[in-house]
Amino acid sequence: MSAVLAAALLHAVWNSLVKSAGDKFMTSARVCLWCGVIALVVAALTPTPAFAAMPFVVASAIIHVLYFVLVGRLYRTADLSVVYPLMRGFAPLIATAVAAFWLAERPAPMALVGVLALVAGVLTMGANGLAQGRIDAATVRYALLNAAVIAIYSVIDGQGGRLAGPGMSYAVGYNAWADALTALLYAPLLAVWRGRGVWREFTAEPARAAAGGLAAFTGYALVVWAMTQAEIGAVAALRECSVVFAALIGVFALGEPFKRVRGAATLLILAGVAALKFA
């Protein structure tokens, strides 16, 4: 549990770096590319994933490209503390349903209660921002699309990490291969969209981008490993504690409001964490 909570904090941190940047799309792209650079180093230092995991590496990379594109789009017009919980809220439910159907992985009753409480808290936080007009309808649609993307890559990587080999080193190695391939697929697309000057843009704000890439890689490597040790749906739900960290970062670092409804939503999320702890 502590590993997933650490991953949740790291995820909120790199998302806040994107939200606070001027060019949010390019900042998201830099995080992806720096994550890939870090992944290449880690891939050279960890065991090569088993051949059975390689189709999952490819599938994960493709869908993660879409994820990073959507993240850059989402933060253009909405608060971090609003769009982030909407984007993350539906993902655990979808991941739990897909894992149950595809992997016959059915959570225990208490774990399901925890998942539902977490999702309710996350969506309450996002809906409160929607009611206050801090997000538009188009952004809501993109957020829901990215929720489906998150759920799909969670199930792919949970199973891929399990097939990669025994132990944490293989799970981390699997994540390194997937993240490196994500960057390799994303780089040509950026060149097409932004032109040859994209490489100068990549080297801009190196400290911010490298910090974001390191947070993204480390956080998700912990999640992939956790999904080899526990049910995918439960890990996906617990990871969404990141919305509490994102809300606090949004309030204290980005000057976004924090109403009583969001406080109540936070309590729901904490109740879900407790249920998962004792499941």
Given a cut of 80, is residue 80 above it in pLDDT?
no
Q: Say how far apart CA 4 and CA 95 lie, in whole Å.
A: 16
Q: Say how far apart CA 168 and CA 42 lie, in whole Å.
A: 13
Please report, rounded to a whole number, the percentage of residues in the chain having pLDDT higher than 90.
33
Given a cut of 80, is residue 133 above it in pLDDT?
no
Q: How many domains does the chain have?
A: 1
* Bigger pLDDT: 233 vs 220: 220
Q: Which residues of 15-44 are buried (b: 16+ CB within 10 A; e: fewer)?
A: bbbbbbbebbbbbbbbbbbbbbbbbbebbe
- pTM for this predicted structure: 0.83
When pLDDT is cut at 50, 70 and 90, the band that residue 66 belongs to is very high
Give the orientation angle of helix 206-229 with respect to helix 2-19, to 10 degrees.
150
- Give the position of tokens 């189709």: 55
> Averaging pLDDT over each range in 19-28, 62-71, 88-97, 137-146, which range is the top one?
62-71
Taking CB atoms within 8 Å and a gap of at least 24, the contacts of 254-258 are 254/16, 254/19, 254/20, 254/79, 254/80, 256/79, 256/80, 256/81, 256/82, 257/132, 258/81
CA-based torsion, 138, 270, 5, 277: positive or negative: negative
Given a cut of 90, is residue 18 above it in pLDDT?
no
**Amino acid at residue number 270:** L
**Amino acid at residue number 1:** M
Span 70-84, mean pLDDT? 70
Span 190-210, mean pLDDT? 80
Question: What residues have CB less than 8 Å from 247, skipping those under 6 apart?
Answer: 81, 84, 85, 125, 258, 262, 266
Task: Indicate the average pLDDT of the chain.
Answer: 83
- Return the pLDDT at 21: 73
The answer to whether residues 105 and 154 touch, using CB atoms and an 8 Å cutoff, is no
Residue 77 has a CB neighbour count (10 Å cut-off) of 14
- Return the pLDDT at 226: 94
Tell me the pLDDT tens digit for each residue of 237-271.
777 677 677 767 766 776 666 667 767 777 777 77
Give me the half-sphere count of Cα atoms (radius 13 Å) on the Cβ side of residue 125: 38
Given a cut of 70, is residue 46 above it in pLDDT?
yes
Tell me the pLDDT tens digit for each residue of 145-191.
888 998 899 999 999 999 999 999 999 999 999 999 999 999 998 88
Report which of 218, 51, 64 is spatially closest to residue 152, judged by C-alpha positions: 64
Give the orientation angle of helix 2-19 with respect to helix 80-89, to 10 degrees.
130
* Bigger pLDDT: 99 vs 263: 99
Span 96-119, mean pLDDT? 81
- Return the pLDDT at 176: 98
* Bigger pLDDT: 149 vs 202: 149
Domain of 233, in residue numbers: 2-277
Cα-Cα-Cα-Cα dihedral of 94, 96, 100, 101, to 10°?
10
Given a cut of 70, is residue 126 above it in pLDDT?
no
Q: Say how far apart CA 160 and CA 173 lie, in whole Å.
A: 11
What 3-state class would DSSP assign to 257?
coil
